[in-house]
């Protein structure tokens, strides 16, 4: 047997592990969503109900807003991280990773203390005379958005910074020497080169926030359900596992679609060194 053929055998254990741990559960989830007798009843039930459609719209909207805010904050932060000195990069990494390593539940309850009507944020604003009454910053979509942005920022910053750190600064100097303005250089040279990192961050943030449960359950209101809470309700309360699997399958389809678009049209594969 040739050496090249034997090297392919090394992939078999990983393939078997992925099949058992990942592919089989996903296939079982999709099969459960269709059911045994009426394959499309669960999907029809979801799409004909205004209540479920509002939950889906709310989930997609909050995920999109979280992604956009993380991108607006994370892109300049990632640039500063990629261009900083060794000491400055170490300090910035501490700023990113220390909250990242803190338990999710602890951070979420910390936001409850900060954002409640008698919390630190409202107290400071009231003392400064900027507001006349406490702002409603928790138990609504505002609180959920604040919590998710803080949690997801590292997932946006790190992929973008990884791509920016490999960017050749001579390209921007060449663009400027040819008469391009700083804005034109950014639009036509720097931004396209860093787009794989942007898309990787966007994909990570959007896909993860689609399935967030802890933050919406704690910081959101009782009437502001998201799809993850709807899945939990059908699994633990109504015991309707087929309908829960249907919702989870739709979330999975959205994630795969976003990944395929990013891979095909935005060069996401470049961040892993893939050949397009």
Q: In angstroms, how far is CA 78 from the centroid of its own chain?
A: 16
Measured CA to CA in angstroms, residue 83 lies from 98, 133, 148 at distances of 21, 43, 27
Q: Is 196 within 8 Å of 271 (Cβ atoms)?
A: yes
Is the residue at 47 inside a domain? Answer: yes
Q: Identify the pLDDT of residue 4.
A: 54
Number of domains in the chain: 1
The CATH number assigned to the domain holding 120 equals 1.10.3720.10
Is the residue at 181 inside a domain? Answer: yes
Is the residue at 78 inside a domain? Answer: yes
Mean pLDDT of 35-59: 86
Q: Tell me if residue 271 falls in helix, strand or coil.
A: helix
Calculate the CA dihedral of residues 108, 256, 197, 15 and round it to 10 degrees.
100
> Radius of gyration (Cα) for the chain, nearest Å?
23
Q: In angstroms, how far is CA 85 from the centroid of its own chain?
A: 28
Q: Identify the pLDDT of residue 3.
A: 54
Is the residue at 13 inside a domain? Answer: no
At what angle are helices 120-127 and 104-115 packed, to 10 degrees?
A: 30
Is the residue at 21 inside a domain? Answer: no
Sign of CA dihedral 108, 111, 113, 118: negative
Other C-beta atoms lying within 10 Å of the C-beta of residue 136? 14
Which domain does 216 fall in, by range? 42-272
Is the residue at 20 inside a domain? Answer: no
Q: What is the pTM of this model?
A: 0.85
Q: In angstroms, how far is CA 89 from the centroid of its own chain?
A: 24
Could you tell me the pLDDT band of residue 269, with boundaries at 50, 70 and 90?
A: low
Is the residue at 36 inside a domain? Answer: no
Is the residue at 229 inside a domain? Answer: yes
Query: Of all residues in the chain, what percent carry a pLDDT higher than 70?
Result: 93
């Amino acid at each position: 047997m040739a050496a090249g053929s034997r090297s392919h055998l090394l992939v078999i254990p990983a393939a078997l592990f992925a099949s058992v741990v990942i592919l089989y559960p996903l296939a079982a989830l999709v099969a459960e969503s269709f059911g045994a007798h009426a394959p499309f009843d669960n999907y029809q039930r979801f799409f004909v109900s205004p209540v479920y459609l509002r939950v889906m719209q709310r989930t997609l909207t909050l995920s999109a807003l979280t992604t956009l805010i993380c991108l607006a904050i994370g892109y300049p932060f990632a640039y500063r991280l990629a261009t900083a000195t060794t000491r400055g990069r170490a300090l910035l990494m501490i700023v990113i990773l220390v909250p990242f390593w803190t338990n999710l539940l602890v951070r979420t309850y910390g936001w409850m203390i900060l954002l409640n009507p008698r919390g630190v944020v409202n107290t400071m604003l009231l003392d400064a005379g900027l507001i006349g009454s406490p702002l409603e910053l928790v138990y609504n979509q505002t609180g959920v958005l604040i919590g998710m942005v803080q949690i997801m920022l590292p997932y946006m910053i790190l992929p973008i910074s990884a791509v920016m750190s490999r960017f050749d600064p001579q390209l921007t100097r060449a663009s400027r020497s040819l008469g391009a303005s700083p804005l034109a250089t950014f639009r036509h040279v720097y931004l396209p080169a860093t787009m794989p990192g942007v898309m990787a961050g966007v994909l990570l943030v959007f896909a993860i926030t689609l399935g967030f449960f802890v933050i919406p359950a704690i910081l959101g209101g009782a009437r502001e359900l998201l799809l993850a809470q709807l899945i939990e309700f059908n699994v633990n309360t109504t015991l309707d596992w087929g309908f829960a699997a249907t919702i989870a399958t739709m979330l999975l389809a959205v994630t795969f679609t976003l990944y395929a678009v990013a891979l095909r049209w935005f060069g996401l594969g470049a961040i892993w060194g893939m050949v397009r």
